[in-house]
Amino acid sequence: MIKGKFYLSEMDIDKIDLGWKYNEEAIHLKGTKREISILREAVSKGVETPYTYDRLSILLVKKGEIKEAIKVCEAYKKVFEMIGYKPSIIKRLERLKEKI
């Protein structure tokens, strides 16, 4: 769910499109190493699709990679704050930081 105000004109349509291309490739892989690899690559490109960051952080937590999940959450926060969107992932980031 998107919370806060932001405008589509503030988003990079190419990064949204690229994000969904990665997501479509990864979505059927169900937590495999390949899904994680695809999502990591998408995050490294700064895609503007919340699902990408959410899914990768969840998978990393399941693998016990809390510090990596924190990095993903911080990348998410940085990308989406640039367009004026306050992501819900901030709460996840706070919870993960408490675990380390």
Distance CA 14, CA 20 (A): 10
Average of per-residue pLDDT across 83-98:
76
pLDDT tens-digit map of 8-58:
455 678 888 899 999 999 999 988 999 999 999 999 999 989 899 999 999
For residue 84, tell me if it sits in a domain.
yes
CATH of the domain at 52: 1.25.40.10
Domain contains 5: no
Tell me what pLDDT residue 38 has. Answer: 97
The answer to whether residue 6 scores a pLDDT higher than 50 is no
Name the range with the highest mean pLDDT among 25-29, 75-79, 81-85, 87-91.
25-29
- Does residue 94 lie within any of the structural domains? yes
In a domain, 91, yes or no: yes
Domain membership of residue 3 (yes or no) is no
Helix (H, G, I), strand (E, B) or coil at 62: helix
Q: Choose the weakest-confidence range: 22-26, 73-77, 90-94.
A: 90-94
- Cα(29)–Cα(10) distance, rounded to whole angstroms? 31
Least confident of 3-7, 37-41, 71-75: 3-7
Question: Quick check: 52 and 42 in contact, CB under 8 A?
Answer: yes
Note the pLDDT of residue 77. 87
Domain count within the chain: 1
Q: Is residue 34 part of a domain?
A: yes
Give the range of the structural domain holding residue 62, as residue numbers without chain letter: 12-99
